[in-house]
Amino acid sequence: MDLALPPVADEFAAAAERAVVGMGGVEVARRAEADPTIRTTEVQAMLEALGVPDIDPRADVDSAAVAGELCRIAGRHVLPFPIVGYVMARPGEGVPAVLASAPPLRAEHGDLFDQWVVHDLSGDVGAATPSGQRMGDRLAPFTTDLVRQGPSRPSDLVEVQYLYVLWASYLLGVVERALELAIGHVKDRVQFGRPLAALQSVKFQVADATVAVDGLRELVRFTLWRVASDPGHALADALAARLQSLEAAQSVLRLAQQLHGAAGLCDEYDISILVRHVQPALRLPIDADATSDLFFEATRIHGFESLFSSPSDHDGRAR
């Protein structure tokens, strides 16, 4: 039993955090709204310098952990780039991947790449190109419609599982940062002659959010290990991480914004940018309730390993 991240993942996370913070952190997302070209000229250039195109999450557990940490760091700053799809591009091919539900197919920053690999939830995979249609200004500033090109074929469950868990890792980063921002605010903000952090209602809510974030962190790490160490047999695990990340994001982001008061609604504050920019990730390709349905179905078909699940719950494999 070894719950620690591999050193290579820790080191990569530290380097990625330095690089993103060096560019301005959440400020990059703010600037990208005014000048979307920096997503390529600055963000993609930074990722290439970090060696992201050489990472293949499918290679082994260490590589999966590195990819997970990359997505987490991107989530901390809502980095304006399709980081999950980009790291899932096959080395040498450079075509990013996205999960999509029924048409219209949509991808975050879909306009940045001419070609996409689209895994839809009915179990097919195919190629797609951006249509040029973008969704919204405030809650989906970089979400783009995609158009299917050519025939589909059965999707590879391994790819789908990595996409789910890497998105969960991205959302882990978002909630980690949201909680840090909330903690910083309630320690600084003085009302009734004392910091908000001195109020028991605030303490208890921060404690509950801490449990949610810590629990998600442990679950995401475990799921990365499951997906990487037993490829193709962890669909329910990946959906569990996805569901937990959506629910943690909804509760922690709501709390973090509330604790900021009116300031939390203003773009000057990072929490506002986090809350706005993460919305597509909470709903694409499906939201928490639909994910819950998929998870339930997956547990019936593939099982969900636990201390007392029977071997027959696991496709006939030994536990």
Partner 1 sequence: MDYEFGQEGDQLRSDLRELIADRLPPDFLGAFTDEPGDLAITQRFCKELAARGLLTLSWPEEFGGLGGSLWMQTVVREEMWAHHEPRGAQYMGVNWVGPSIMEFGTAGQKALHLPALAAGEEIWCQGFSEPDAGSDLSALSTRADRDGDGWRISGQKIWTSYATMADYCFLAGRVAGSGDKHDGITLFLIPMDRAGIEVRPIKSMLGPHHLNECFFDNVWAGPDEVLGPVGQGWKIIRRTLAYERVGVARYARCDRLLALVGRELEGTWDSLAPALRARWSRALIKVRVARLLAYRCVAAQARGEPSDALASVARVAVTQCDQEVAETLFQVFGHQSLAGARSEAPLHGALEDHWRYAQASTVASGTIEIQRSLIARSVLGPS
State the residues that interact with partner 1 by CB under 8 A.
1-6, 61, 65, 183, 186-187, 194-195, 197-198, 200, 203-204, 206-208, 210-211, 214-216, 218-219, 221-222, 224-226, 240, 243-244, 247, 289, 292-293, 295-296, 299-300, 304, 306-310
By C-beta, is 20 or 243 nearer to partner 1?
Answer: 243
Single out the residue of 158, 96, 171 nearest to residue 129, CA to CA: 96
Buried b (16+ CB within 10 A) or exposed e, 85-96: bbbbbeeeeeeb
By C-beta, is 4 or 262 nearer to partner 1?
Answer: 4
Residue 195's Cβ-count burial label (10 Å; 0-12, 13-18, 19+) is middle
- Least distance to partner 1, CB of residue 218, Å: 4
- Least distance to partner 1, CB of residue 180, Å: 9
> Which residue type sits at 256?
A
- Least distance to partner 1, CB of residue 98, Å: 25
Q: For residues 101 and 5, what is the distance between their CA atoms, to the nearest angstrom? A: 32
By C-beta, is 2 or 268 nearer to partner 1?
Answer: 2
- Least distance to partner 1, CB of residue 252, Å: 13
Identify the sign of the CA torsion 220, 224, 230, 232: positive
- Least distance to partner 1, CB of residue 183, Å: 6
By C-beta, is 149 or 309 nearer to partner 1?
Answer: 309
By C-beta, is 157 or 199 nearer to partner 1?
Answer: 199
CA angle centred on 77, ends 219 and 103, rounded to 5°: 75
- φ, ψ dihedrals at 89, nearest 5°: -60, 140
End-to-end CA distance of the chain: 16
- Least distance to partner 1, CB of residue 318, Å: 10
By C-beta, is 48 or 293 nearer to partner 1?
Answer: 293
